[in-house]
Amino acid sequence: MRNRLPTRCIDINSIYCPCILAETNHCVYCSHLKGEPVCNCDWAGVCILNEKGWQATSAKQKWNWDETRTRQDLEVPITALELIAENTYAMRVLVPKELARSLDCPGSFVFFRRTEDPDFFKFPVGIMSVNSETIEVVIETIGPKSSRMLENGTNQLIVRGPYYNGIFGQPWVEKMANGNVLLLTGGMGQPPAVPIVKKLVENGNQVTAIVAPGKIGKIFAADIFKNLGIKVIPVISMRREGMAKFIELITNEEVCPDLVVSAGPDDQHHGIINVMQAENKNIPMAATNNATMCCGEGVCGSCDKEARGGKKVRTCKVQTDFISFI
């Protein structure tokens, strides 16, 4: 359909690299740290293998996963909670400035759980906005983890982060400038769409958003989008009215986008790709990551998806093109 993004680890050369996967010879990028005999990576940054060796022998820091190397659990207060739709809450949480700063980017997310619950109760939540020491998220309380989290007037939570792989095709979002972008979003896809739109507007792009209420039954981000100066097209149903509008826009040469962003369920991502293929449109697409996640570190395997060629991808760690999973 089009040129695809190269696969890479979202944490590569960050303070969290090398990670536990490198320690166990399961690195998602370095061939040596996968247990292979030769180096065949195309990474132009600091060598992960060399960094692992340096850190293992450094007098300053042994290979012991201390607080400077791993994401930590922090107890934080809820400062605001608002019911915005049935079983759906907008929540603000006070966090350390350093954590807030690190989450102020598209695709960022954290894990939440109640303070008294065991670690396996934590679940991932995408960041909608960041303001100084406050992060804002939207939570749909429909499962045992999420519904329990806000029971009985809970005002303290455990947060773990930052994590970054909430969008496939993130480089397109980060690098697109002075272009024409079409966003399709609805339901619980609206919160992660907000930082994406902020970044696109910041880079001088003209953004049009087709927005549907989705399964939660409400469009709650339209005013946020409008305040950012983008055009909002509300639709009753993304599957019917939204896709028809999408076809209309991508077949109009005067407004055909340079980038398509799909913030919603995987069915929506698949539908958009099918439409573009049917219309013979070669448009890059970024898509929200809807994988099931339990650890966020690439260890548990719950987020594994099979890509082309039968390759397993740890989607909590690996940045790639969503079309690789088609």
Q: How far does CA 120 lie from the centroid of its chain? A: 21
Sign of CA dihedral 282, 195, 230, 220: positive
For residue range 55-90, what is the model confidence (pLDDT) as tens digits?
666 544 544 545 446 798 999 999 999 999 999 999
* Structure confidence at residue 51 (pLDDT): 81
* Structure confidence at residue 88 (pLDDT): 96
Task: Pick 50 or 99 by higher pLDDT.
Answer: 99
* Structure confidence at residue 68 (pLDDT): 46
Give the residue-averaged pLDDT of 224-238: 96
Give the residue-averaged pLDDT of 282-305: 94
Give the residue-averaged pLDDT of 224-246: 96
Pairwise CA distance, residues 200 & 230, whole Å:
10
**Around 286, how many Cα atoms within 13 Å sit in the side-chain half-sphere?**
29
AA letter at 10: I
Q: Which of 191, 193, 195, 192 is nearest to 183 (CA)?
A: 193
Pairwise CA distance, residues 274 & 268, whole Å:
10
Pairwise CA distance, residues 110 & 114, whole Å:
14
Q: Which of 11-25, 44-58, 285-299 is modeled with the greatest confidence?
A: 285-299
Give the residue-averaged pLDDT of 100-112: 97
CATH architecture label of 73-163: Beta Barrel (2.40)
Residue 99: exposed, middle, or buried by beta-carbon count in 10 A (0-12, 13-18, 19+)?
Answer: buried
* Structure confidence at residue 59 (pLDDT): 41
Domain boundaries, the chain: 17-57, 73-163, 167-325
For residue range 122-176, what is the model confidence (pLDDT) as tens digits?
999 999 999 989 999 999 998 899 988 888 888 999 999 999 999 999 999 999 9
Sign of CA dihedral 297, 301, 303, 305: positive
Give the residue-averaged pLDDT of 244-270: 94
Q: Which of 25, 28, 21, 60 is nearest to 43 (CA)?
A: 28
Contact, 110 vs 128, CB < 8 A? no
Class of domain 167-325: alpha beta
pLDDT band at 315 (very low <50, low <70, confident <90, very high): very high
Contact partners, residue 258, CB within 8 Å, separation at least 6: 176, 179, 180, 181, 283, 284
Q: Is the pLDDT of residue 52 over 60?
A: yes
Residue 287: exposed, middle, or buried by beta-carbon count in 10 A (0-12, 13-18, 19+)?
Answer: buried
Task: Pick 226 or 29 by higher pLDDT.
Answer: 226
| Structure tokens belonging to residue 113 | 């759980």
Give the residue-averaged pLDDT of 221-240: 95
Mean pLDDT for all residues in the chain = 91
Contact partners, residue 227, CB within 8 Å, separation at least 6: none
For residue range 161-220, what is the model confidence (pLDDT) as tens digits?
999 999 999 999 999 999 999 999 999 999 999 999 999 999 999 999 999 999 999 999
pLDDT band at 3 (very low <50, low <70, confident <90, very high): low
